[in-house]
């Protein structure tokens, strides 16, 4: 018997169905990526309007996500050296390369504040109850408080600027709008 066009064996049909399955998943992922890229583009435009360049956000995110936290530090040292050699920034006259380095306590505080400000998990990674753990948690709380008390005013000013109105001065700009929950849940939940 001669095979006619479109006549497939069972294995060929199953292979085609399996390919379709992966294609559909790929297509759905591509659609999500497009949607996320549009969301990122909008976020970048808003950040630019607030005075933050995309390059700054890219650098911050790349440094934040770096598996080896020393790599961004090494890159900064190299870039600084290049700027000194080009005469764009002065060389440190004391020659102390560690003069601008943060001490352990400052690093712990900065990491805790960053985690609180960015609504990350409230887990320090230090031994529970240790002085570093307590200092990190205090800094976390300070960062969280800074975000929670400052962002409503910032968002109200941005909303007012977008609508060419003055922001409400009676306290909570979201008291009657229902937007408070939207902004509270908009912060990324990243765990380390």
**Mean confidence (pLDDT) of the chain:** 81
Residue 128 lies in a domain: yes
Whether the predicted model's global pTM rises above the 0.85 cut: no
Residue 8 CB contacts under 8 Å (≥ 6 apart), including other chains: 16
User: Along the chain (192 residues), what's the average pLDDT of each consecutive run of 10 residues?
Assistant: 61 86 95 97 94 94 91 91 80 58 80 89 92 93 92 86 66 50 49 48
**Which of 147, 144, 148 is closest to 121 using CA atoms?**
144
Residue 188 lies in a domain: no
Residue 167 lies in a domain: yes
Residue 126 lies in a domain: yes
Q: How many other C-beta atoms lie within 10 A of the C-beta of residue 161?
A: 13
Residue 90 lies in a domain: no
Looking at the chain, list the stretches that DSSP marks H as alpha helix, in order from N- to C-terminal side: 10-49, 54-65, 70-85, 104-117, 131-163, 179-186
Residue 8 lies in a domain: no
Residue 107 lies in a domain: yes
Per-residue pLDDT at 1 = 47
Residue 181 lies in a domain: no
User: How many percent of the chain have pLDDT more than 90?
Assistant: 43
Domain span at 132? 103-172
How many structural domains does the chain have?
Answer: 1
């Amino acid at each position: 018997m001669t095979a006619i066009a479109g006549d497939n064996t069972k294995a060929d049909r199953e292979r085609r169905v399996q390919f379709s399955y992966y294609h559909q998943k790929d297509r759905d992922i591509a659609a999500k990526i497009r949607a996320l890229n549009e969301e990122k583009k909008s976020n970048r435009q808003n950040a630019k309007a607030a005075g933050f360049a995309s390059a700054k956000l890219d650098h911050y995110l790349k440094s934040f996500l770096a598996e080896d936290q020393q790599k961004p530090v090494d890159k900064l040292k190299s870039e600084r050296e290049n700027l000194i050699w080009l005469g764009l920034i002065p060389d440190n006259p004391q020659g102390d390369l560690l003069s601008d380095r943060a001490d352990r306590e400052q690093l712990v505080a900065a990491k805790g504040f960053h985690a609180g400000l960015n609504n990350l998990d409230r887990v320090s990674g230090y031994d529970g109850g240790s002085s570093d753990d307590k200092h990190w948690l205090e800094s976390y709380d300070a960062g969280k408080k800074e975000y929670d008390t400052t962002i409503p005013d910032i968002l109200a000013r941005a909303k007012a600027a977008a609508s060419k109105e003055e922001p409400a001065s009676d306290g909570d700009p979201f008291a009657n709008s229902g937007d408070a929950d939207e902004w509270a849940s908009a912060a990324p939940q990243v765990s380390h």
